[in-house]
């Protein structure tokens, strides 16, 4: 993946996470001036993103070797959430920085 493609992916991912419907799904809430989200919902969202990517790849006839890259992306996303201790803003910062 090129640097340009990686940046586009991160920008799209951050955009998805910042959408109101995504925040509702993740149960983003403010506690002691920190935005938190639900771990299980985040894991479910990561799984849905992977499934959507798989569907897109299989319907567009892109070689299966790119599946490993998609799994790496989702794994990095889940690691980012863990590192951020499920704090919303911190997760966004880690995603942008990775």
Nearest by Cα to 95 from 1, 16, 34: 16
Nearest by Cα to 46 from 8, 16, 67: 16
- Output the pLDDT for position 15: 96
**Strands (E) located in the chain:** 29-31, 34-36
Record the pTM. 0.84
Give pLDDT tens digits for 18-77: 999 999 999 999 999 999 999 999 999 999 998 887 776 666 555 544 778 888 889 999
């Amino acid at each position: 993946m090129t640097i340009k493609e990686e940046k586009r992916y991160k920008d799209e991912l951050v955009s998805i996470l910042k959408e109101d419907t995504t925040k509702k799904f993740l149960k983003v809430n403010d506690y002691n001036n920190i935005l938190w989200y639900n771990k299980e919902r985040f894991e479910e969202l990561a799984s849905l993103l992977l499934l959507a990517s798989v569907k897109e790849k299989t319907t567009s006839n892109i070689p299966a070797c790119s599946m490993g890259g998609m799994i790496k992306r989702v794994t990095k996303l889940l690691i980012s959430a863990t590192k951020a201790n499920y704090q919303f803003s911190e997760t966004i910062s880690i995603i942008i920085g990775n």
